[in-house]
């Protein structure tokens, strides 16, 4: 009596696994239908219907095989489950590799932008030094001409630009 209950439990377990595998196979076959272009939805529907009949036949065959040889069916189901799991893991691995590639590209772009900003800052600092030197040389005179006053205003403007560029670089 106990062995019969165990056998019934095993059958029920295998049946649920067969149904789950059938659903997974059906879902994956709907995603990729070889030999038919995606612009022909009527062909896809008829092909999907044919695929469903094939999967139903496959499930029925598995059930019949299980009844005749429960141990062989169990190993076949386990092999299919392992195969599906391996494919899933491969897909996940490919997705992660793609995400890493995108992040790496983003980092390179940001690094290039940062390098450009640093170069721009150096140029502005050099120009500021030149203007400060001109201002210092011209301040030795007692009166400032309008050109010298403009040079001082330019220097203040450049200082502000450098400060804003440094803040922007810190953000990057």
- What is the mean predicted confidence (pLDDT) over 42-68? 66
Rounded Cα distance, 56 and 50, in Å? 10
Q: Is the pLDDT of residue 3 over 70?
A: yes
75 or 85: whose pLDDT is higher?
85
For residues 138 and 140, give the distance between their C-alpha atoms in angstroms, rounded to a whole number. Answer: 5
Domain identity same for 6 and 72: yes
Higher pLDDT, 35 or 162: 162
Domain count, the chain: 2
Burial of 71 per CB tally in 10 Å (0-12, 13-18, 19+): exposed
Return the top range by mean pLDDT from 7-16, 77-86, 99-108. 99-108
- pLDDT tens digits along 87-106: 889 989 999 999 999 999 99
Same domain, 149 and 75: no
C-beta of residue 63 within 8 angstroms of C-beta of residue 76 = no
Kindly state whether residues 43 and 86 are assigned to the same domain: yes
Question: 65 and 124 share a domain?
Answer: no
Nearest to residue 24, comparing CAs of 80, 79, 74? 80
Q: Is the same domain home to 10 and 59?
A: yes
pLDDT tens for each residue of 121-139: 999 999 999 988 888 888 7
Exposed / middle / buried, residue 118 (Cβ in 10 Å: 0-12, 13-18, 19+):
middle
Q: Are 36 and 86 in the same domain?
A: yes
Q: Are 122 and 166 in contact (CB under 8 A)?
A: no
Q: Are residues 9 and 90 in the same domain?
A: yes
Domain boundary among 89, 106, 123: 106
Are residues 101 and 46 part of one domain? yes
Q: What does the DSSP assignment read for 62-105? A: HHHHHHH-HHHHHHHHHHHHHHHHHHHHHHHHHHHHHHHHHHHH
| Helix 70-139 and helix 2-31, axial crossing angle in degrees, nearest 10 | 50
pLDDT value at 111 more than 50: yes
Minimum mean pLDDT range among 11-15, 23-27, 42-46, 74-78? 42-46
Express each pLDDT in 26-47 by its tens digit.
Answer: 666 655 444 444 444 444 445 5
Determine the structural domain holding residue 158 and report its residue range.
Answer: 115-171
């Amino acid at each position: 009596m106990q062995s019969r209950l165990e056998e019934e439990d095993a059958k029920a377990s295998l049946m649920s696994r067969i149904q789950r595998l059938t659903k997974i196979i059906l879902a994956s076959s709907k995603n990729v239908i070889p030999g038919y272009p995606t612009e022909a939805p009527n062909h896809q529907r008829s092909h999907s219907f044919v695929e469903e009949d094939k999967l139903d036949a496959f499930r029925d065959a598995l059930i019949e095989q299980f009844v005749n040889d429960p141990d062989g069916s169990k190993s076949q189901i386990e092999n299919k489950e392992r195969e599906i799991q391996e494919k899933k893991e491969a897909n996940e691995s490919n997705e992660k590799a793609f995400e890493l590639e995108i992040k790496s590209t983003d980092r390179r772009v940001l690094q290039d932008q940062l390098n450009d900003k640093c170069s721009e800052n150096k140029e502005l600092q050099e120009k500021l030094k030149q203007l400060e030197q001109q201002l210092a040389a011209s301040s030795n005179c007692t009166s400032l001409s309008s050109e010298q006053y403009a040079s001082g205003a330019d220097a203040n403007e450049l200082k502000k630009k450098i400060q804003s560029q440094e803040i922007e670089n810190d953000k990057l």
